[in-house]
Amino acid sequence: MDLKSQINLEKLPKHVAVIMDGNGRWAKQHGKPRVFGHRNGVTAVRDTTEAAAELGIEYLTLYAFSTENWNRPKLEVSALMRLLVETLNKEIQTLNKNNIRLKAIGDINKLPGRTHDALLQGIENTAKNDRMTLVLALNYSAKWELTEAARKLAKAAKEGTLDPDQLNEQHISNALATQGIPDPELLIRTSGESRISNFLLWQIAYAELYFTDIFWPDFGKENFYQAIIDFQRRERRFGKISEQLIP
Ligand code: IPE
Ligand code: IPE
Ligand code: MG
pLDDT exceeds cutoff 80 at 1: no
pLDDT digits (tens, 9 = 90+) for 88-126: 999 999 999 999 999 999 999 999 999 999 999 999 999
**For ligand 1, atom 13: residue with the closest CA:** 24
- Alpha-carbon torsion 35, 39, 40, 42, what sign? positive
Give the pLDDT band (50/70/90) at residue 219.
very high
For ligand 1, is residue 24 a contact (CB within 6 Å)?
yes
CA distance 11 to 91: 29
Ligand 2 mutation target, pool 34, 63, 68, most atoms within 8 A of CB: 68
Residue pair 238/108 in contact (Cβ under 8 Å)? The answer is: no
Residue type, 235: E
pLDDT exceeds cutoff 80 at 204: yes
Ligand 1 mutation target, pool 18, 19, 25, most atoms within 8 A of CB: 25
Q: Where are the domains of the chain?
A: 20-232
Residue pair 26/38 in contact (Cβ under 8 Å)? The answer is: no
Pairing of strands 100-105, 132-140: parallel
For ligand 1, is residue 65 a contact (CB within 6 Å)?
yes
CATH 3.40.50.300 fits 20-232, yes or no: no
Residue pair 135/103 in contact (Cβ under 8 Å)? The answer is: yes
